[in-house]
Structure 1
Amino acid sequence: MLARLGRIAARGRYAVIAGWAAIALCGAVFGGSVYDRTEPLDDLRPDAESTVAQARLDALTPTGEQLVAVLSGRNFFATDLVNQATQIMFEIRAIPGVVKVTDAYTAGSSQISADSESSLVVVELSPQLSDDEALAVADKVSAALHRIDVPQVLVGGKLLAERDFGDQAIADAALGESVALVVLCGALIVMLGGLAAGSLPIGAALATVAGTLLALTGLAGVTGVSDYTVNVVTLLGLGLAVDYSLLIVARFREERAADPRAPLPELLSRTVATAGRAVLVSGLAVGAALSGLFVFADPLLAAMALGGALVVLLATVAGLTLVPALITIAHRHIPAPGTRTWVWRRPARRGPGLLARSAAFAQRRPVAVALAVTAALLTLGVPLLHVNLADSDARSLPASSEARQAYEAYEHHFAAKYPEPVPVVIEGAATDLAVQSLLARIRALPGVTDVDLRENMPPQVVVAEVERPGLAAGEQTQQLVRDVRALDTTVPVLVAGPAAQLIDAKEATGDRLPIALGVVIVATALLLFLLTGSLVVPVKALLMNLLTMLATLGVLVAVFQWGWGSGLLGFTPWGALDLTTPLLLFVFVFGLSMDYEVFLLARIREEWARRTGDDRAANDRAVLAGITATGPVVTAAAVSIGIVFLGFALGELIAVKEIGVGMAVAVLLDVTVVRGLLLPAAMSLLGRANWWPTRTPALPTPSAPTVPQPRRTRPTKPTTSTTPSASATTSTPVAPATPAAPARTPRSS
């Protein structure tokens, strides 16, 4: 089927290119509107306790968005400041859409810093306002607050932080894609030896990204899509499209060199039948990895999984159709490896590549290399033991963001003295003895400083606001939530707030992670088994992917949580990793690791199928031959996708930067250390067991036409040669003592 697809793409090249051009054009015209249709998504399932509690609170006492402002840099009691601030606070109350202003000037609030140099203002907006209306009112409030004559006015809050996040996501995507495409284009021109050859993967990548944006625009009309989803999905699409294009182009050059007189459709038929098989299996493996996100069943990850599935589908189809069609048009401008071109003024020296040399070294010392690489990767993973996972808040914004500065100013001056209360919904009357007993036990919990009851509640519901010094989602507040939930009571109790949401998110992740791992592992193991016919190879691949994952997450903890190298990367750490980062990295790292695993194993399996022996030496030769043949394209793909991820690491959003840096680290470790050293060492140690339970090395593979043997004009004596070569028909015949075996014709891939 794949061979036929390659032939169709070659013969119908103009129709294929026109179809993809239409997709790219529609994506360029309409796809950009996806950013206007994005929305913040919850990272919790609707049935989570904190989500149910918040919905109950919203039904009881609907509240609007809150703006938090910190006025600092001048003594609070200065007479002219008091007069000016008082007047402005009354002006803010008069703004349509503002329902409440809490400040120390006019509302009797005592929210003043210990040094009297800062004060806190909280402005509540009407819950009837739409998002756009609320932002318009927030801008008016912010403008009024900035008129107060103090050195620093910082206005923030969830509403403004979400807008900053969206704006920054668009800016980061534009910067990341621009830098990545420019650098990537230059790298591909150099690696492939010309402008036309280097433009093929870029064309496929642009078509894939444009099609992805168009698909996400349509998806946004059906379900929620966040800015974060758009950034991460376009990043993945760009990398996968380049990877698959490089594999197809490299295999085409190989097929053309092996049979230069073959018709072009036939060459592309063989190319897609071999390399296309690896592309298809790789796409299925990445898609299977993404399917694991559905298990978590929260809106953010579900949107990520849907978007990822779309981009993987587009990248795979582009690799199997668009790239062969482009090759058909530009094949004369695709130089053979080592050819002298305007890029390479001197012909490249022929010889084994970096991965091939690494593999040969690992095969000579398999035990030492396997132990050393495993120990090194486990060492890199040690920081993971100290990971702190939290929901991204305003601190994930750039340090220059006013919303982040307002959050940090509140945290520094007011969080300890004026903590955000934890809402507790108790389904029972205030006069009920069980409710009174519960409230008394809540007041007696360690660290609790106050318990206030909300007024104007229905008679059968009590809403208690429990205060304890600490951050809204800090460890102390999380412990308070756990303590309240652990109280034995006969009345239903629900706890809301940021700390409760974080606890629920962690518990949901822990509960569903084994299921997600099972889905991903079983699906990818099955695909590798179908590709290789081996049960051992999938297990080995999964273990190596796990090592790559552990090392990558360990590096991320050291960089983004501890701050190692943060100055070099241009961000200010906030002491935690985003809760979704390990999940997304697991899926993406696993998928891309399977990418390279499939590229290498598909070729190693072909080489193993050709071997006449069935021993360890034959296995080692097959592994080395497969890595030698595929190593250059894997290296080029790793360089290309590393450029893509590092381009996104230049962005300002820490959550996106975590993904970009994490993927770049994972690709670097996977290609150089795992595929170059650990893979050949492990396969050398396992020997024939690699292919268990396969009994014979035979594997049906598409073969090129048999190379015709020289016509003999006269009888010749049999020779001792059993391998066809240029000298086999000209060497001096030697009469053997026993009949010689007939010469074997090598099977071609």
Structure 2
Amino acid sequence: MSRLLYRLGRAAALRPWRFIVVWLALVAAVAGFAGVAGGALHDDYTLAGTGSQRATDLLRARFPALSGADARVVVHAKSGTVDRAGLAAAAGELRKLPHVSEVGPAQPSRDGATALLTVRYSVPVTDLAPGETLDLLRSATGGLKAAGYQVEFGGQVPENVTAPGGVAEAIGIAAALVILLLAFGSVVAAGLPLAVALAGLGAGVSGITLVAAVTDVATTAPTLATMVGLGVGIDYALFILTRHREGLAAGLDVPEAAGRAIATAGMSVLFAGFTVLLALCGLVLSRVPVFMTMGFTTGLVVAATVLSALTLLPAVLGLAGRRVLRRRDRAAGAAITVESPRVRRWAGHVGRHPWPWLLAASVLMLALAAPALGMRTWPSDASSEPASNTVRQAYDIVADAYGPGANGPLLVAVDLERTDPGVLPGLGERLARTHGVAAVAPPLTSPGGDAAVITVTPDYGPQDARVTGLVDRIRADALPPGAEITGLTATYVDLSRMLSDRLWPVIGVVVATSFVMLMIVFRSLVAPLKAAVMNLLSIGAAYGVLTAVFQWGWGAESLGLPHSVPVSSFILLLLFAVLFGVSMDYEVFLLSRVREEWLLHGDARGSVTSGLAATGRVISSAALIMVAVFLGFAADPGLVIKQMGVGLAVAVALDATVVRLVLVPATMSLLGRANWWLPGPLARVLPDIDLHGGGAPAGASAGAPAGAAGREHEPSRA
């Protein structure tokens, strides 16, 4: 494989315009095709096998007027009461809107200062264009606003409208460019990783639009894919560029330096990207369609950035020539200091005193992870939106006028083919007596008489921790056979439990597959096991910091939130899958250099020190870029992306400092030669993969140092 990559990199550097034109044509073609044949983004929250999904399916089949999306028009008079005639006129206009199946009677508050119009659609929210639908709602209620009333909008449709993006991406790109300029001291060298990453990103994001034409793709998928793709794309290009500059400083010509950089660092990029893809594939086990689409669309962008790093980057390196070096370093024979003496001294110090540093770093990571023991996961609702947002204002007005539970009513769907209609009055009474229920509406019967719906208003808001117990009590004590409970709050309960239950299978599969891949690459059982443990520590610490910042409220307001909020149910799975793959990137880059030194010299402790010294600067720069990119996305208005940005930034920062500079040298110094232990029978069946592009000396086996080469066969090139 390394020989193939060498030829690819050298050919691209020798004929740069061919590769550049192909890439420009590819990006333009995919973008153009996406503009013509691309699909719209839709969230699919089907929760197969849950009570809320069974109730929703029953309503869709027998009571379609109550099964689709809903929107709420909240009308508030700052003085006096709301005019009923104006409400009736607005209801008439709302009934004329596309896909509207019903507009309920206006519900005035006790003081008459507020009125609520519930608009029901015949299709789910995923079949509507939320922005256009909200504009139509505003137009239909324009008469109320003209009369001086405050008109706000809530419910599924308005809450599904996403704010325009671009700010987070711009912050991340600007920060990355500054860091690259400081790291390389050359505008050309700083711009190349960014340009290559953006090319891969452009092709990948356009591909997401094409995928949306044939299947449902989550509305947050492009933002998540952009966040991850931008971070890893710049990092992949950075690692290859650094190796290329080393080759130029060593006296190689440009095509040769590019070919060797792709054969060595490019090989690591290939396996690092494959590790990210493996981790993202774990989201398939969630069995929640919205998560599955987030996984494969992010994987599509990561694959595109890997391809751009391996094919487009050597072409632009060939075009740039020696301009990737600082002006003062371009003279023949000028040396570039790749190794960091400071990191070498630090790694040597930790290696000589491993136990104190190992214990101190472990205690720190476990202390940061401790708050996660009290983590509460729950999907975000309108109360988490900024105070200026219409859905937040609608939420607050409804809570003040009707009680907090009116923002999250529960729907009890009854199958009258399985249950006698005569039980409905008694069911309503049992529901009203259930602790935590504020009100129960009279049952509504479907046109065919084969289904009924009872609306239950809780005492608690949708985000209140007590609402889970209420849903459980209704299911256990009040519902007869053939009845199920649904509504947004009940769906939240089922979604949170489903995602929590699926977390451990996802963790198990992702860790196991990554372990097997690293075992094959590094021909060791100990090194992959250590890498998995270190990554789990980073993820645990990220979970703990998220709990403290968002759930405890230690930093919620500084991030633009009105108050503390639970950690989003989406975060557990998403953060684990993405972060495990991203953290493994650094593990592959670091261990590949450590193993290269081990194969050359056979010095277990010295190879760790040399590997850290050689990669310290580039990994620190790469991590700083990723942290800057991820923190930029913390400014995104969407809570899931905001929490993902903070979690990823914290974990990468810890991974590049505490893990790479303390835990790795401490544990590897303690383990010594055992780091590269592999049982003989397993060594004979595993393929030999040259991760160093010829960096290993002739005659050295893939698992033994150079000094042992005479006792082993020469590894084949994979």
Query: Same fold by TM (over 0.5)?
Result: yes
CA deviation after TM superposition for structure 1 residue 55, in Å? 2.3
Structure 1, unaligned runs of 5 or more: 613-617, 708-722, 724-746
| 1:162 maps to amino acid | N
| 1:131 maps to amino acid | L
Q: 1:419 to 1:604 in 2, by over 3 A?
A: closer
State how far apart, in whole Å, the 2-side matches of 1:559 and 1:11 are: 51
Q: Match for residue 94 of structure 1?
A: 92
Q: Match for residue 137 of structure 1?
A: 136
State how far apart, in whole Å, the 1-side matches of 2:498 and 2:557 are: 34
| 1:386 maps to amino acid | G
| 2:118 maps to amino acid | V
- Secondary structure at the aligned position of 2:484 is classed as strand
| 2:172 maps to amino acid | A
Q: Contact between 1:44 and 1:501, CA under 8 Å: does it hold in 2?
A: no
Question: Any idea what the Cα deviations from partners look like across 1:77-128, whole Å, max 9, x if unmatched?
Answer: 5xxxx5xx2332122133123776667xxx5x4523xxx4841322325537
- Secondary structure at the aligned position of 1:227 is classed as coil
State how far apart, in whole Å, the 1-side matches of 2:697 and 2:678 are: 30
State how far apart, in whole Å, the 1-side matches of 2:444 and 2:424 are: 14
Q: Match for residue 393 of structure 2?
A: 405
Question: Any idea what the Cα deviations from partners look like across 1:109-163, whole Å, max 9, x if unmatched?
Answer: 4523xxx48413223255379735744531223423322435x443333212222
Q: Which range is displaced more, 631-640 or 597-606?
A: 631-640
User: Is structure 2 residue 415 aligned with structure 1 residue 427?
Assistant: yes
User: Is structure 2 residue 74 aligned with structure 1 residue 74?
Assistant: no
Q: 1:644 to 1:417 in 2, by over 3 A?
A: closer
Q: 1:466 to 1:699 in 2, by over 3 A?
A: closer
| 1:604 maps to amino acid | V
Q: 1:192 to 1:398 in 2, by over 3 A?
A: same
Q: Contact between 2:249 and 2:336, CA under 8 Å: does it hold in 1?
A: no
Question: Any idea what the Cα deviations from partners look like across 1:258-288, whole Å, max 9, x if unmatched?
Answer: 3x1x454333332222111211110110000
State how far apart, in whole Å, the 2-side matches of 1:87 and 1:23 are: 59
- Secondary structure at the aligned position of 2:41 is classed as coil
User: Is structure 2 residue 45 aligned with structure 1 residue 43?
Assistant: yes
State how far apart, in whole Å, the 2-side matches of 1:396 and 1:584 are: 20
User: Is structure 2 residue 213 aligned with structure 1 residue 228?
Assistant: no
Q: How does 1:195-274 map to 2 (within 5 A)?
A: 195-258=187-250, 260=251, 262-274=252-264
Q: 1:691 to 1:405 in 2, by over 3 A?
A: same
User: Is structure 2 residue 469 aligned with structure 1 residue 479?
Assistant: yes
Q: Contact between 2:380 and 2:463, CA under 8 Å: does it hold in 1?
A: no
| 2:206 maps to amino acid | L
TM-score normalized with structure 1 length? 0.83
State how far apart, in whole Å, the 2-side matches of 1:568 and 1:431 are: 55
CA deviation after TM superposition for structure 1 residue 678, in Å? 0.9
State how far apart, in whole Å, the 2-side matches of 1:532 and 1:671 are: 21
Q: 1:335 to 1:530 in 2, by over 3 A?
A: same
State how far apart, in whole Å, the 2-side matches of 1:335 and 1:60 are: 70
CA deviation after TM superposition for structure 1 residue 73, in Å? 6.4
State how far apart, in whole Å, the 2-side matches of 1:625 and 1:257 are: 19
CA deviation after TM superposition for structure 1 residue 359, in Å? 2.3
State how far apart, in whole Å, the 1-side matches of 2:59 and 2:259 are: 63
Question: Any idea what the Cα deviations from partners look like across 1:454-473, whole Å, max 9, x if unmatched?
Answer: 23464454433334311245
Q: How does 1:708-723 map to 2 (within 5 A)?
A: none
Q: How does 1:305-324 map to 2 (within 5 A)?
A: 305-324=295-314
TM-score normalized with structure 2 length? 0.86
Q: Match for residue 146 of structure 1?
A: 145
> Alignment RMSD, CA only?
3.3
State how far apart, in whole Å, the 1-side matches of 2:572 and 2:35 are: 28
CA deviation after TM superposition for structure 1 residue 440, in Å? 5.9
CA deviation after TM superposition for structure 1 residue 433, in Å? 7.5
Q: 1:687 to 1:44 in 2, by over 3 A?
A: farther
State how far apart, in whole Å, the 2-side matches of 1:208 and 1:141 are: 43
CA deviation after TM superposition for structure 1 residue 670, in Å? 0.7
CA deviation after TM superposition for structure 1 residue 230, in Å? 0.7
Q: 1:319 to 1:450 in 2, by over 3 A?
A: same
State how far apart, in whole Å, the 2-side matches of 1:605 and 1:706 are: 12
Q: How does 1:535-554 map to 2 (within 5 A)?
A: 535-554=525-544
Q: Contact between 1:248 and 1:275, CA under 8 Å: does it hold in 2?
A: yes
Q: Match for residue 367 of structure 1?
A: 355
| 1:664 maps to amino acid | A
Q: Aligned match of 1:7 in 2, 5, 10?
A: 10
Q: Quick check: which one's helix share is greater?
A: 2
State how far apart, in whole Å, the 2-side matches of 1:37 and 1:400 are: 31
Q: 1:341 to 1:386 in 2, by over 3 A?
A: farther
Q: Which range is displaced more, 576-585 or 390-399?
A: 390-399
Q: Match for residue 627 of structure 1?
A: 612
Q: How does 1:210-609 map to 2 (within 5 A)?
A: 210-258=202-250, 260=251, 262-335=252-325, 339=328, 352=340, 355-416=343-404, 418=406, 420-428=408-416, 431=420, 441-451=430-440, 452-456=442-446, 458-472=448-462, 474-487=464-477, 491-609=481-599
Q: Aligned match of 1:25 in 24, 28, 33?
A: 28
Q: 1:605 to 1:339 in 2, by over 3 A?
A: farther
State how far apart, in whole Å, the 2-side matches of 1:332 and 1:464 are: 74
| 2:625 maps to amino acid | S
- Secondary structure at the aligned position of 1:475 is classed as coil
State how far apart, in whole Å, the 2-side matches of 1:531 and 1:412 are: 61
Q: Contact between 1:473 and 1:498, CA under 8 Å: does it hold in 2?
A: no
Q: Match for residue 653 of structure 2?
A: 668
Q: Contact between 1:416 and 1:471, CA under 8 Å: does it hold in 2?
A: yes
Q: 1:699 to 1:39 in 2, by over 3 A?
A: closer
Q: How does 1:700-715 map to 2 (within 5 A)?
A: 701-703=692-694
Q: Aligned match of 1:185 in 142, 166, 177?
A: 177
Q: 1:443 to 1:326 in 2, by over 3 A?
A: same
Q: 1:177 to 1:33 in 2, by over 3 A?
A: farther
CA deviation after TM superposition for structure 1 residue 449, in Å? 4.9
Q: Match for residue 127 of structure 1?
A: 122
**Once the two structures are aligned, what percentage of the paired residues are identical?**
32
- Secondary structure at the aligned position of 1:304 is classed as helix
Q: How many residues align?
A: 677
| 1:484 maps to amino acid | I
- Secondary structure at the aligned position of 1:494 is classed as strand
| 1:486 maps to amino acid | A
Q: Match for residue 727 of structure 1?
A: none
Q: Contact between 1:454 and 1:462, CA under 8 Å: does it hold in 2?
A: yes
Q: How does 1:658-697 map to 2 (within 5 A)?
A: 658-693=643-678
State how far apart, in whole Å, the 2-side matches of 1:570 and 1:466 are: 33
